[in-house]
Chains A and B, each alone.
Chain A
Amino acid sequence: MGDIVTVDGLAKRFGDLVAVDHVSFSIAEGEIFGLLGPNGAGKTTTISMISCLIDPTEGDASVAGSSIRSEPLAVKRALGVVPQEIALYPTLSAAENLAFWGRMYGLSGAELKHAVDDALELAGLADRAKERVEEYSGGMKRRINIAAGVLHKPQVLLMDEPTVGIDPQSRNHILETVKELNEAGVTVLYTSHYMEEVEFLCDRIAIMDHGRIIAMGTLNELRDVVGGMDVITVSVENVSDDVLEQVRASEGITKADRSDGGLTVLTASSGSVLGKLVATLESEGAHVTSVTVAEPDLESVFLHLTGKSLRD
């Protein structure tokens, strides 16, 4: 199958800040493509350029054969967009919101009605369709936010961190929804700063940092970047900058950074490093509660490539 999205040297500057720095990738029809990166990496800016919301400073991209620069209307017709923020009218009901967004994509009459019903079904909220969106929980709003981006059955769906700030149950529902949509033939560009989501969903992944793509490939290809290494995760309180520097300087430790609730360390020789690491931490007054050694994941790839953890 051919590429339905191609991004070619796309760049965006805001004054002196280079938000997106000559990014290129392509997405094959039917793929779920992941854009993984920490906050501020440039994911939203990239999506905004592809969806013709902001003009690129340099470069071009095409969706379903149409250029974002010369044929924005055709691009917009081929796309569905799920924005990072919940972009809905709080005082309108879910059904009214969906009907409105359907009309913005040119749907009307019976076709619109079916599309709204299907979208409510997809969101699992058919029984609460008449309630105002402002009365919904965060997770329910997220689901309607997604439904509003897919009800016109787009060829390509851009999803910008669609699971931010919701409960695990809603998150699972959303991830399953993305899989379902993809199985129904929709090509998906999915951005996130949660590596688990990207690992679970995506056929191919680009890792982004400071506006640049620093690695790209399938999950296995990316894991090979840190081939033969182990990830040590230490649950520990009060890691000072001094201690972190000491750990980083220790022999056998490739990369180390703070992570959720402790420290993540990348090493090629976990057996010899482990004891020394714990001793260093304890001697500096840090209290270690648990240590795990695991196969590398995308988190460790990011740590390896950038020297920092994804979530800081």
Chain B
Amino acid sequence: MAKLLHIAAKDFKIVARDKAAFLILLGMPLALIFILGSALGGVGESESVDIAVAIVDVDEGSSGADFAERITEVEDLQALFNMEVRSDAEAVRAEVERGDLTAALVLPSDFSERLDAGEPVTLEVLQDPGSEIAAGIWSGVARAAAANLSAGQVIRVTVADALAGAGVPAGAQDEQTGGHDHEIELDAVVVEEAEVDTDTRVGMIDFYAAGQTAMFLLFGSMFGAFTFVKERREQTLARALTTPTSKFQIVGGKSLGILGVAAGQFLVLYIGTMLIFRVDWGNAPAATVVVGIAEAWAATGLGMALAALGKTERSIGGIGPAVIMLFGAVGGSMIPAEFMPAWMAPIQSVSPSYWALESFLGLMRGEAASTVIGPVAILLGIGAALYAFGVWRLRYE
């Protein structure tokens, strides 16, 4: 056991001293999280994300003001949005078009009147097409608020893209975006859906932190596989086999080294993104870490498989990133997994990045820690299968 640990420590040291490894395992993901996250908003602000939105209240009665207040006084929403109640509808529309406001909710002038008469009310959500996701969250808020307003009341919420600079007359937009109109029947199902939306506070930076971490964790496998190739080529593996050390100790030690590298990488990315980018990984740190370590194990298995498949650094450097990027892409590290076509599902189901990312995002959304048990079991299984294949096919010379 002592020898196994010494071998692991030696490999950890070798990878940690490798500048290329350092760059790919830590530099690249942090840079991508920063670039992608900041391009889509939300980085660098001292508090949490701060999305500028407005509620346009031109209601002639008093229900409009009550409704607006009910939204603006919610603390969770205050943390996420910078909310203003305004009455200058045209100016707000122009600001959304320019992108100065991310979205706006417009309460019509007959809001109180229709509500009192029990007639359907139409609320309009204006959104900046450049920040669809943030605006989408806002429309979710609007729907949830509408749902709470009065059970049994039918309220239409229409979502209109404010087509910046296109000069589309305001009146024409209802037609143009007719496909986006949502008519909400206030039954239990719709309310539930709306509530999930209000809880969704996964900002862009959080999404990319989880996504890039889930993908780049697998790169540890490549450097692990490199150490096998190097040891074969530089004959240190042969030398180790002439010492009173078993193959079990050597392979076990090297595997533990890869696991250590990947786990260390995870912890640096996890803590680093929290400190640098104020990423909110959710309220179940233990569960997040368990998912990270489970994916590190999957990376260890992948490393063994790559070590068995590749004879040279060049071949591993070719297969490794291709497999990892594929796993990452179908797993949703670049584009959210729910946008993937259905035929990709089989590849998703064997992608460690997919299971890790689903778990990370779930925890970020506030899902219970116990929801990661299934994905963690799958990650451990994928790791074990790859590991077994690697050990079976590994060559020592």
Contacts and interface: CB of A to CB of B under 8 A. Distances in A.
B3 A103 contact: yes
A91 B242 contact: no
Interface stretch (A79-87, A170-178, A194-202, A289-297): A79-87
B239 interface: yes
A83 B17 CA distance: 26
Interface string A69-85: 00001001101010101
Contact of A105 (B13, B14, B243): B243
Contacts of A45: none
Contacts of A88: 234, 236
A51 interface: yes
A87 B244 contact: no
A92 B236 contact: no
A158 to B, nearest CB: 8
Interface in B186-237: 234-236
B243 A87 contact: no
Given A83-B235, A89-B10, A89-B14, A108 B2 contact: yes
Give the interface SS of chain A, mostly helix, strand, loop or mixed.
loop
A53 interface: yes
B345 interface: no
Contacts of A108: 2
B303 to A, nearest CB: 18
Contact of A87 (B2, B14, B234, B245): B234
A91 B234 contact: no
A73 B249 CA distance: 14
A85 B244 contact: no
Contacts of B2: 103, 108
Given A81-B239, A83-B239, A104 B234 contact: no
A87 B236 contact: yes
B240 interface: yes
Interface in A221-274: none
A308 B235 CA distance: 31
Contacts of A86: 234-235
B10 A92 contact: yes
Given A89-B14, A92-B13, A100-B6, A81 B242 contact: yes
Contact of B244 (A76, A89, A90): A76
Contacts of B6: 100, 103-104
Contacts, number: 61
Nearest to A51: B242
A192 to B, nearest CB: 18
B168 interface: no
Nearest to A108: B2
Interface in B1-53: 2-3, 6, 10, 13-14, 17-18
Interface residues of A, number: 27
A101 B237 CA distance: 12
Contact of A77 (B14, B234, B244): B244
Interface in B222-272: 234-236, 238-245
A52 interface: yes
A86 B233 CA distance: 10
Name which of B6, B239, B242, B245 has the most chain A CB atoms within 10 A of its CB.
Answer: B242
A76 B247 CA distance: 14
A300 to B, nearest CB: 34
Contacts of B17: 91
Contacts of B243: 76, 101, 104-105
Given A87-B236, A91-B17, A53 B3 contact: no
A106 interface: yes
Nearest to A81: B242
Nearest to B5: A103
A90 B233 CA distance: 12
Contacts of B3: 103-104, 106
A56 B336 CA distance: 57
Name which of A48, A79, A89, A108 has the most chain B CB atoms within 10 A of its CB.
Answer: A89
A90 B234 CA distance: 9
Name which of A77, A90, A100 has the most chain B CB atoms within 10 A of its CB.
Answer: A100
Name which of A48, A79, A87 has the most chain B CB atoms within 10 A of its CB.
Answer: A87
A76 B234 contact: no
Contacts of B239: 81, 83, 87, 101, 148
B236 A79 contact: no
Given A89-B10, A89-B14, A100-B6, A83 B238 contact: yes
B10 A100 contact: yes
A274 to B, nearest CB: 47
Contacts of A89: 10, 14, 234, 236
Contacts of A52: 241-242
Interface of A: 48, 51-53, 73, 76-77, 79, 81, 83, 85-92, 96, 100-101, 103-106, 108, 148
Closest 10 CB pairs of A and B: A87-B239, A104-B243, A87-B235, A85-B235, A76-B244, A51-B242, A81-B242, A103-B6, A87-B236, A77-B244
26 contacts: A53-B242, A76-B242, A76-B244, A77-B244, A81-B242, A83-B239, A85-B234, A87-B234, A87-B235, A88-B236, A89-B14, A89-B234, A90-B234, A91-B14, A92-B10, A92-B13, A96-B13, A100-B6, A101-B243, A103-B3, A103-B6, A104-B6, A104-B244, A104-B245, A106-B3, A106-B244
